Amino acid sequence: MSHIRNLYPKLVVDGADKAIAFYGTAFDAVASDRFAHGDRVVHAQLTVGGARFTIKDAGDGDPAPSDGGAPVIMTLEVDDADAVCAQALAAGAHVIYPVEDHDYGEGHRDRGGRIGDPFGHQWMLIQQPR
């Protein structure tokens, strides 16, 4: 299997900026990367102590838990997203979003996709550019 570099949760919320402020106050979370399309946050990274998680506003096929969406999407940073996806599909996963190249602007690019496991959980596969 391709080397897995990191694992962290992505929270889908209604009101990402309010959630970022809440986690900052509640847990001393520090926000770093924040990417938005218009007024919607599509990715914000927060660090609490040595732990990291990300937040995004509901949308783009991701409803918030209050609207029946998945409460957490797990993200795997890997060396080869295509190889990990193929291995997971062979084990019984299904494709939600195919692995492809993404350009998020501001110099942020990656390759990735999303799969669903047989138990109802979603997994983002992210590969940084080589």
Q: Is residue 66 scored above 90 in pLDDT? A: no
pLDDT at 105: 66
Can you tell me the distance from the alpha carbon of 35 to that of 80, in angstroms, rounded to the nearest whole number? 24
Is pLDDT of 75 > 80?
A: yes
Q: What is the mean pLDDT of residues 94-117?
A: 86
Q: Which two tokens stand for residue 26?
A: 């509640």
Amino acid 68: pLDDT: 84
Is the CATH code 3.10.180.10 the one for domain 4-127? yes
Average pLDDT of span 79-96: 94
pLDDT tens figures, 118-127: 878 899 999 9
Strand blocks (E) in the chain: 4-13, 30-37, 40-48, 51-57, 72-78, 94-103, 109-116, 122-127
Q: Is the pLDDT of residue 108 over 80?
A: no
Q: Where are the domains of the chain?
A: 4-127
Burial class (CB in 10 A: 0-12, 13-18, 19+), 55: buried
Residue 71 in this model has a pLDDT that exceeds 80: no
Cα-Cα-Cα-Cα dihedral sign, residues 41, 42, 43, 48 = positive
pTM for this prediction: 0.77
> Rounded to an integer, what distance in angstroms lies between the CA atom of residue 44 and that of residue 33?
5
Tell me which residue of 61, 50, 59 sits closest to 8, measured CA to CA.
Answer: 50
